[in-house]
Amino acid sequence: MRTFFVTDPGRIARKDGGVAYISKDGEVKYLTNDYDVIVVASSKVSITSAAMRLLARYGIDLVVLEWNGEPVIRASSPIPNKTAMTRLKQYEVILKGKALDYAKPIIMRKIIEQGRTLRYIAKSKRINWLRDQSYQLEKLAQDASSAQDPDSLRSVEALAAKLYWGLLSEVFEDFPGRIQESQDPYNMAINYAYGILYSNTAKALTVVGLDIYADFFHTPKSGKSSLVYDFSEQFKPLVDQALFSKLNFERLQAVNGALTYDSRKEVAKVVTEALEECISNLLLVEAWNLTSYLKEERVYVPGWKRCM
């Protein structure tokens, strides 16, 4: 999926029969139907209703991010593009109490990928102890596979997260560990990057006909696209790898507890490159894979292969 990011002030409007982003300086960028998602990451961008109608006809989603990267608005075409069978099977799994069969494989894969990300960093920085410590996550992935209820699975996930982020904080001395509400450059960048991942995940799940509000693992909240959070968990370590290997955190700046426009652009550039390199394709392929398991009423097995 191709994503166009708007991080600078400007407007999105119809122009010459199409849709264009016009920057504050008058630069024009045409948004053709080659794009799948338009992500607005600035509070100083306006959009006309005519442009929104045309984006819907093109099948292009419009996503607006909060200052911390959390998607707060998502607009897409109301025209269904898949049969109702996919969603019926999704609801059936949840109502029959089989959601754990789909949640466990996702968390297992997430923990496995966390270990792989640590080994990637260990290899690039030649840190043998980090490589050795990373294999503890393999054991935790096995523990996740034997979880008998959601609470047990959450406990294993939390242990894995504590180990994973703790090891990263030992390698990157200025990183205080994963604290979602923290206003340090590391955590703000991670939050923002995950927001971009959520936008692309929602698009992939919607394309294959799934209900992004019907989840397997996260606690349902009104208006929250819980399945997006569930499904994206297994891909977060790939985003982490891109950030910790390519982003210069020392260059990031914040004002009033939020990353500046230039800093958001830096984060978006790194994440976009990772998405275009392989993650976007993995999201869509794996979303189709999930629907296949739902329709066939089989225990879910993530089939994607790491590409970074």
Among left, alpha and beta (phi > 0; psi -120 to 50; other), residue 236 is: alpha
pLDDT of 146 reads 95
Q: Return d(Cα 247, Cα 52) in angstroms, integer.
A: 33
Under a CB-based contact definition with an 8 Å cutoff, are residues 235 and 196 in contact? no
At 4, the pLDDT band (50, 70, 90 cuts) reads confident
Under a CB-based contact definition with an 8 Å cutoff, are residues 48 and 39 in contact? no
Superfamily of domain 3-75: CRISPR-associated endonuclease Cas1, N-terminal domain (3.100.10.20)
181 annotated to bind ligand: no
pLDDT of 233 reads 97
pLDDT of 128 reads 98
Domain boundaries of the chain, sorted by first residue: 3-75, 85-296
Give the H or E element holding residue 40: strand 37-40
pLDDT of 91 reads 94
Of 117, 285, 94, 271, the closest CA to residue 207 belongs to 285
End-to-end CA distance of the chain: 17
Cβ partners under 8 Å of residue 131, min gap 6: 118, 119, 122, 123
pLDDT of 70 reads 77
Region 179-192: what's the mean pLDDT?
A: 95
Region 79-105: what's the mean pLDDT?
A: 84
The CA-based diameter of the chain, rounded to the nearest angstrom, is 59
157 annotated to bind ligand: yes
Q: Give me the CATH topology for the region 85-296.
A: Four Helix Bundle (Hemerythrin (Met), subunit A) (1.20.120)
Under a CB-based contact definition with an 8 Å cutoff, are residues 215 and 16 in contact? no
Q: Write down the residue that tokens 């898949």 correspond to.
A: 82
Torsion angle of alpha carbons 210, 213, 218, 222, nearest 10°?
180
Under a CB-based contact definition with an 8 Å cutoff, are residues 127 and 171 in contact? yes
Amino acid identity for residue 224 in this structure: K
pLDDT of 58 reads 80
pTM for this one?
0.81
pLDDT of 253 reads 94
Under a CB-based contact definition with an 8 Å cutoff, are residues 55 and 31 in contact? yes
Q: Is 97 exposed, middle or buried, given 0-12, 13-18 or 19+ CB atoms closer than 10 A?
A: exposed
Region 255-281: what's the mean pLDDT?
A: 92
At 16, the pLDDT band (50, 70, 90 cuts) reads confident
Region 154-162: what's the mean pLDDT?
A: 98
27 annotated to bind ligand: no
pLDDT of 1 reads 62
pLDDT digits 0-9 by tens, 204-249: 998 888 999 998 986 655 557 899 999 999 999 999 999 999 999 9
pLDDT of 219 reads 63
At 271, the pLDDT band (50, 70, 90 cuts) reads very high
At 61, the pLDDT band (50, 70, 90 cuts) reads confident
pLDDT of 60 reads 84
For the chain, the average pLDDT equals 91
Q: Return d(Cα 5, Cα 111) in angstroms, integer.
A: 30
At 79, the pLDDT band (50, 70, 90 cuts) reads low
pLDDT of 41 reads 85
